[in-house]
Structure 1
Amino acid sequence: MKTLKKEDIEQEVFNLYDDYAHNKIQRREFIEKLGLYAVGGITVGALMSFLMPNYVDTLLVKKDDPRLDSDYITYTSSQGGGAIKGLLSKPKDTQGKLGGIVVVHENRGLNPYIEDTARRAALDGFITLAPDALTPLGGYPGNDDEGRALQRKRDRNKMLEDFIAAYHYLKSHRDCSGKIGVVGFCFGGWISNMMAVKVSDLAAAVPFYGGQPKEDIDQINAPLMLQFAGLDTRVNEGWPAYEKALKAHGKKYTAYMYPDVNHGFHNTSTPRYDKEAAELAWQRTMDFFKEKLN
């Protein structure tokens, strides 16, 4: 069987996966449409296998990394889902108080990639909390397909409250300086934008390819760093209006557009991952947080 590489896959296949991952088409239709691209010795099964997340081989920080204290906690989200589970991580042997970062998952719950991302941020000298908005439904179920199905059952504004509650949990944590930022991906990018609107003393927000707020943009106080994928027409079409509103209200923001990469380019677990763009975007994110949260 032919070993697939990213270069073997037509852009239309990545677009199809994006539609599937964001619930625009169902699994059956996704598989049927993939059949159009199963040519030249490439099977539908091979395409499916190649596109699905690989969490086993792609984590960058081990769960038991000796440099970290990282474990699950439960905090209260009284306006959202009640008792919410999250991964709390911080450098071991912390000296002094740390800036805090809420790390927000995509539309499928707290999967291994997001946990890995939270540990990475902690290694850069922060205390991080990565909540699982699927907690009221039993938590991330172990695979993304079921995770997406579960997340569709929750109201997104209730989930927003869960992440705002995570902000307050970090703010009162004994190891936190009280300066809190948020970084989120896809759905989490929308959450990051919305936390900037809703949380008046948020210190910084970094939405990765996140949907934009449509109102109350004048309420934003946090400086923003917005990360966009050049091929992500679905999300990018909302950026001009958002940027116009940010400018009109004199808000502080920096936006980066990474050319020729797909939505999800930071996610190490799928072939949408682009190492060069992801590492650059992450370095910019960490530098931004070090400036704003220290």
Structure 2
Amino acid sequence: MKKVIILSIAIIVGNIAMAQSDAITVCHTSPTEKFAMFASNKDFNAEHQIPRVYRHVSEEGGKMIKFQTPDGKEANGYYLKAKNKTDNWILVFQEWWGLNDNIKRQSEELYKELGNVNVLALDMYDGKVGSDRETAARYMQEFKQDRGDAIVKGALQFAGKRAKVGTLGWCFGGGQSILATLNAGKQAVACVIYYGMPVDDVAKLKTLNTDVLGIFATKDKYISPNVVQKFEESMKAAGKNVTVKNYNAEHGFANPSNEIYDKEAAADAWKHTVAFFRGRLK
């Protein structure tokens, strides 16, 4: 009997320790690392509907370009150049699929809505695009944030020191959006996150130079309401402004190529996104 009691206590203590260990890991894990962990989860992968096939033909002169990155390499991006010279820029970040034609279309829609602005959608996978869940999951797990930061810094150099930079991203790209804003420093003027993993490190958030608009889905099991609440609390503790729009929808609801696309919620979220950028890119 004594051995059973001792064994039971050991199991309970072990479980508590594991729970504490998991909490520490999650708390101090970057958005990129969290998404990489999600990618190993079959349920998470299954929630990403395979996008409908779409071939984008630009009506605004959008084209793929290459630019230098500070790690001695080159990066790719889909570039929509402003009609008239301006220092207003928006960097766009892909979903976990990669820089596909759906992201190019969304970039072009934003370009048309805002008027005179430069839009550059960054290829964070260096030319790789996933068309099925398994491939997209692998690409996201293989992604290295050091390379991602180098791509962003190369894009900032391409835009120039006078550029006023907004960022926008969905899913994997939502986390990259706020990380890019941190990299942009005083050049950052607007940050929009669509159901991406936010930064909750208060010390890092204190260095943000701009307000944040967060678009989230209440039915999202991974970027959950608890995650969103933690982000709001961390932003408040950092003395920064965040506007959160929660929609009764699933993760990925704003992607028109997605079977769970919620037209009404997506339209409302887009309205807030455009207004947010218009108010900060003057």
TMscore range, shorter length: 0.7 to 0.9
Q: How does 1:5-154 map to 2 (within 5 A)?
A: 22-25=39-42, 51-56=49-54, 62-65=56-59, 68-79=60-71, 82-90=73-81, 94-97=83-86, 99-124=88-113, 125=115, 126-135=117-126, 139-141=127-129, 143-145=131-133, 146-154=135-143
Query: Per chain length, whose mean CA-contact separation is higher, i.e. which structure has more relative contact order (CA < 8 Å, sep 6+)?
Result: 2
CA deviation profile, 1:170-218 (whole Å, cap 9, x unmatched): 235xxxx721100001111111122233321211100101112132111
CA deviation profile, 1:119-151 (whole Å, cap 9, x unmatched): 11111222110111121xxx1346244344233
Q: In percent, how many aligned pairs have the same letter?
A: 25
Write the distance in 2 (CA, Å) between the matches of 1:241 and 1:115. Answer: 32
Which residue type is aligned with residue 131 of structure 2?
A: N
Structure 1 residue 152: Cα displacement: 2.2
Whether 2:175 is the aligned partner of 1:190: answer yes
Structure 2 unpaired stretches of 5+: 1-34
Structure 1 residue 101: Cα displacement: 0.6
Which residue type is aligned with residue 281 of structure 1?
A: A
Write the distance in 2 (CA, Å) between the matches of 1:164 and 1:239. Answer: 27
Query: For the Cα contact (< 8 Å) 1:171–1:179, is it kept in 2?
Result: no
What residue number does 1:265 align with? 253
- 1:127–1:232: structure 2 CA closer, same or farther, 3 Å change rule? same
Write the distance in 2 (CA, Å) between the matches of 1:154 and 1:277. Answer: 30
Which residue type is aligned with residue 291 of structure 1?
A: G
Which residue type is aligned with residue 229 of structure 2?
A: P
Structure 1 unpaired stretches of 5+: 1-17, 35-47
Which residue type is aligned with residue 178 of structure 1?
A: A
What residue number does 2:22 align with? none
Write the distance in 1 (CA, Å) between the matches of 2:81 and 2:53. Answer: 22
Query: For the Cα contact (< 8 Å) 1:140–1:147, is it kept in 2?
Result: no
What residue number does 1:159 align with? 148
RMSD over aligned CA atoms reads 2.8
- 1:116–1:22: structure 2 CA closer, same or farther, 3 Å change rule? farther
Write the distance in 2 (CA, Å) between the matches of 1:78 and 1:96. Answer: 25
What residue number does 2:19 align with? none
Higher alpha-carbon Rg: 2
Which residue type is aligned with residue 103 of structure 1?
A: V
Write the distance in 1 (CA, Å) between the matches of 2:199 and 2:220. Answer: 18
- 1:195–1:290: structure 2 CA closer, same or farther, 3 Å change rule? same
- 1:84–1:287: structure 2 CA closer, same or farther, 3 Å change rule? same
Structure 1 residue 98: Cα displacement: 5.5
Matched pairs, number:
241
CA deviation profile, 1:225-273 (whole Å, cap 9, x unmatched): 11101111311232222211211222122111012x1111111111121
Write the distance in 2 (CA, Å) between the matches of 1:142 and 1:189. Answer: 18
- 1:82–1:220: structure 2 CA closer, same or farther, 3 Å change rule? same
Structure 1 residue 96: Cα displacement: 4.1
TM-score where L is the length of structure 1: 0.73
Runs in 1 of length 4+ with deviation above 6 angstroms?
Answer: none
The DSSP-based 3-state class of the residue aligned with 1:85 is strand
Query: For the Cα contact (< 8 Å) 2:165–2:184, is it kept in 1?
Result: no
Query: For the Cα contact (< 8 Å) 1:111–1:140, is it kept in 2?
Result: no
Write the distance in 2 (CA, Å) between the matches of 1:155 and 1:140. Answer: 14
Query: For the Cα contact (< 8 Å) 1:192–1:207, is it kept in 2?
Result: yes
Query: For the Cα contact (< 8 Å) 1:129–1:170, is it kept in 2?
Result: no
Q: Which structure carries more helix by proportion?
A: 2
- 1:122–1:90: structure 2 CA closer, same or farther, 3 Å change rule? farther
Which residue type is aligned with residue 270 of structure 1?
A: N
Structure 1 residue 293: Cα displacement: 1.0
Write the distance in 1 (CA, Å) between the matches of 2:169 and 2:70. Answer: 22
Write the distance in 1 (CA, Å) between the matches of 2:216 and 2:210. Answer: 19
TM-score where L is the length of structure 2: 0.76
